[in-house]
Amino acid sequence: MTATRLPPFSLQGWADADVRDPYPVYERYLAESPVHLADGAYYVFGHDAVSAVLSSQVFGRRSAVNGPVPTGHLMLRTMVENWLVFLDPPRHTELRSVVNREFSPTVVTNLRDRITEIAEELLHGLPRAFDLVETFSAPFPVLVISELLGVPRERSDWLRRQAIGLQEASSSRAARNPHAQEIAGQAARELRDYFLALAGERRTSPGDDLLSLMVAARLRGEPLSSDEIAATCVHLVTAGHETTTNVLSKAVLTLSSRRPELAVLRSSGVSPLVVEELVRFDSPVQAVSRWAYADASVAGMEIPRGSKVVAMLGAANRDPARFAAPTELQLDRSGGRGLSFGLGIHYCLGATLARAEIEIGLRLLLAALGEFIVEGVEYPYDMVFHGPSSVVLRRY
């Protein structure tokens, strides 16, 4: 590692302007080195280096010292530790095999008509001025994942509020809110109680939804535990809506300042290639953490066993060594995907569903919007789940 000329990297203490647009910051650190050591953590910026971390089982999701939630918050800790994203094989493999069948390309293809109906219902009768996040970007994926889980539609707003409360436990938000863990803990309790009650109903009256599938599942002859069922449902709600919400909102912001590209999409439609480029250009998840289970080397830097490694997905997606003109939005870009949905065994379970939601949702949204301007944008302080909490649009 070369002698650093930049301050030690951190995901804390960013200016609001840099939270909105973190990419110039990443560019400076990546230009100096693909890996930076700061406060005992290794921040990985380069595309090849991030790919190596995500695809190697030397780097796992569990710390030998601390779990994903601080001690003292038992309910929250138990729930989060049972999320698929924080499990390692063999339990990760077993649980994912149960859930994966409901996110297969065939199932998602069969859902496209229903996804279209949900989007059209939300976009019907748009007012002249409205908050995109509140009106469409947030409720749209929540309604889709609720349908998969068998959650009644009238609970979708409540589900979204609890998911937002749960995200207060993320490291970026928790550092700025002394009550974050309590807020997240209360949301965890309410979500756990709700899904356990719903699971009880499915045991006596099963349906064709994902929750019924989990209740009936057997792994090595044993049913899933109550903690595993509740945690998996909550994880799917949280991960299943936040990524899509952020992509839809940020895509509109990106296109609002790129009118030629906006015109192209309106005339030719939103293709899978366009979705990949939008997700690469402004990643909905900026960073994911791993722990070194053994001594390892990444991009020439030695990483001792037990070290925390933070894979900077947003930086990797704009690595000039991997993407030509990475700071440009190129709707016809080819030559590979970014890393926003991850890689390896923890590749996003709902990536196929998210891509379908983005493709369908953005196409219908742009048609419904007509000409518009952005009147206001607010970003929460979150350098992991990255996206605006409010985007006020005015149609004209």
> Does the structure show a pLDDT above 60 at 60?
yes
CB 214 within 8 A of CB 85: no
In angstroms, the CA 51 to CA 298 distance is 10
> Does the structure show a pLDDT above 50 at 2?
no
pLDDT digits (tens, 9 = 90+) for 128-159: 999 999 999 999 999 998 888 888 888 888 88
pLDDT digits (tens, 9 = 90+) for 183-196: 888 888 899 899 99
Q: Region 285-289: what's the mean pLDDT?
A: 94
* CB under 8 A, 24+ apart: contacts of 215-222: 217/98, 219/94, 219/95, 219/98, 220/94
| Token representation of residue 192 | 């756990």
Q: Region 26-47: what's the mean pLDDT?
A: 96
CB 378 within 8 A of CB 19: no
In angstroms, the CA 355 to CA 284 distance is 12
Statement: the pTM of the whole predicted model exceeds 0.85: yes
- Domains parsed from the chain with CATH numbers: 16-395 (1.10.630.10)
Q: Region 339-354: what's the mean pLDDT?
A: 87
Percent of residues, the chain, with pLDDT higher than 90? 57
pLDDT band at 96 (very low <50, low <70, confident <90, very high): confident
pLDDT of residue 97: 80
Only one residue has tokens 């649980």, namely 95
Q: Region 171-200: what's the mean pLDDT?
A: 77
Lowest-pLDDT range of 38-52, 55-69, 297-311: 55-69
pLDDT of residue 1: 45
DSSP string, 135-160: IIITHHHHHHHHHHHT--GGGHHHHH
> Does the structure show a pLDDT above 80 at 180?
no
pLDDT of residue 210: 87
Lowest-pLDDT range of 55-64, 148-157, 320-329: 55-64
pLDDT of residue 229: 87
Around 304, how many Cα atoms within 13 Å sit in the side-chain half-sphere? 5
How far, CA to CA in Å, does 55 sit from each of 59, 95, 290, 345?
Answer: 8, 19, 11, 7
pLDDT of residue 360: 97
**Strands 301-303 and 129-131, bridge-based pairing:** unpaired
pLDDT band at 300 (very low <50, low <70, confident <90, very high): very high
Query: Cis bond leading into 90, ω under 30°?
Result: yes
Of the candidates 192, 200, 285, 284, the one whose C-alpha atom is nearest the C-alpha of residue 235 is 192
Q: Region 335-346: what's the mean pLDDT?
A: 85
Name the percent of the chain in helix, strand, coil, to the closest 5. Answer: 55, 10, 35
pLDDT of residue 98: 74
pLDDT of residue 287: 95
> Does the structure show a pLDDT above 80 at 66?
no
**What CA dihedral angle connects 241, 107, 61 and 183, to 10 degrees?**
30
Q: Region 10-18: what's the mean pLDDT?
A: 93
pLDDT digits (tens, 9 = 90+) for 243-285: 899 999 999 999 999 999 999 999 999 999 999 999 999 999 9
CB atoms within 10 A of CB 155: 14
CB 393 within 8 A of CB 366: no
